[in-house]
Amino acid sequence: MSDVRAAITAIGAWVPDYVLTNKELESMVDTTDEWIRTRTGVVERRILRDKDKATSEIGVQSVNRLLEKRGMKAEEIELLLCATTTPDMVFPATANIICDRVGAKNAFGYDVSAACSGFLYTLATAAKFIESGKYKKVVVVGADKMSSILNYEDRATCIIFGDGGGAVLLEPSTEGNGIMDEILRSDGSGCEFLHQKAGGSLMPASLETVRNELHYVYQEGKTVFKFAVKNMADVSEEIMNRNNLTADDIAWLVPHQANKRIIDATASRMGLGDEKVMLNIQRYGNTTNGTLPLCLSDWEPRLKKGDNIILAAFGGGFTWGAVYLKWAYDS
């Protein structure tokens, strides 16, 4: 392997203004603020209510913030990858729409689909372009407008998710910082427990699919929960062991924000106290591909050069994984 590592050198994140509280959900479905808080950890989530705005809006706002922070022009971006489960359209890729809207005229781009693990998969993919030596400025967007595929009459799913996301810039580093290792896994037999039935080539949209409410998130929560707890904890422990990291060596765990109980189980397996775990599920809910960049953005002011950070996720597919990185800059 080359000495060049892919380091995150800037972050931008964005959530829409509208706050959908547990209290408001109480008036929409048969639920309670208390149930949602204790079973998931979510207190409120953001919703992109503008009918003419989609996932690309989250990406555009995030990338513009990132460019401003880094003092960089959009034309300098060489590649932009977008991890999303709610692309603006079936095609073209949302990455292309974001590139056009931010003015990334010299970039090529494409989307990566790996449900809630999408940002991790995409970060690992983007890192390879940097490590190859050929690319110097690669942007990874993780964004979802989950409200576009939620049934707000289904209390088992609509209470969990929210809209939002973020973007990170990857650049080469020869200082020993950046992405050090990744473990990525998938198991397609998990498809039956978490998916969207219609809208793809298997079941194209029709009057019948709309009438039967097949364009919404379908989740067998209990089963997904069991797989998530085991696999996210397993892979986080595995990446620690493989890199000879003890709990003391780790500055932060950045976990996918699907359920506080899953996060607690992962942190406990890693031997980490709450003070080392990024948690913002109470404010945003599960933004699918948006959770990890939203965490990094919220905690950016506290991150220090050389910090050992583990990112971990689990999601539909099933997909799951962990990334180990050394933070590359002091804020």
Question: How many angstroms separate the CA atoms of 131 and 295, rounded?
Answer: 25
Nearest alpha carbon to residue 90 among 240, 2, 176, 198? 198
Q: Does 66 bind ligand UT7 (CB under 6 A)?
A: no
Q: Does 149 bind ligand UT7 (CB under 6 A)?
A: no
Q: Does 120 bind ligand UT7 (CB under 6 A)?
A: no
Token pair belonging to 258: 């699907």
Binding mask 182-221 for ligand UT7 (x = CB under 6 A): ---------------------------------------x
Q: How would you class 47 by CB atoms within 10 Å of its CB: exposed for 0-12, middle for 13-18, buried for 19 or more?
A: buried
Binding mask 217-246 for ligand UT7 (x = CB under 6 A): ----xx-xx--x------------------
Binding mask 245-284 for ligand UT7 (x = CB under 6 A): -------------xx--x----------------------
* Whole-angstrom Cα Rg for the chain: 19
- Site residues for ligand UT7, window 36-65 (CB under 6 A)? 36, 39-40
> Where does this chain touch ligand UT7 (CB under 6 A) — which range of 7-15, 144-152, 153-161, 208-216?
153-161
Q: Does 155 bind ligand UT7 (CB under 6 A)?
A: yes
Hunting for tokens 């209990």 — which residue is that?
A: 222
Question: Does 215 participate in catalysis according to the annotation?
Answer: no
Question: Does 177 participate in catalysis according to the annotation?
Answer: no
Question: How many angstroms separate the CA atoms of 95 and 289, rounded?
Answer: 14
Q: Does 306 bind ligand UT7 (CB under 6 A)?
A: no
Residue 119 backbone dihedrals phi, psi, to 5 degrees? -65, -40
Q: Does 124 bind ligand UT7 (CB under 6 A)?
A: no
Near ligand UT7 by CB under 6 A: residue from 62, 196, 286, 297: 286
Nearest residue (CB) to ligand UT7, 33 versus 298: 33
Question: How many angstroms separate the CA atoms of 33 and 21, rounded?
Answer: 9
| Cα angle 84-89-94, degrees, rounded to a multiple of 5 | 45
Instruction: Provide the CB-side half-sphere exposure for 288 (13 A, CA).
Output: 31
Question: How many angstroms separate the CA atoms of 290 and 143, rounded?
Answer: 5
Site residues, ligand UT7 (CB under 6 A):
31, 35-36, 39-40, 116, 155-156, 159-160, 221-222, 224-225, 228, 258-259, 262, 286, 314-315
Active site residues: 116, 256, 286
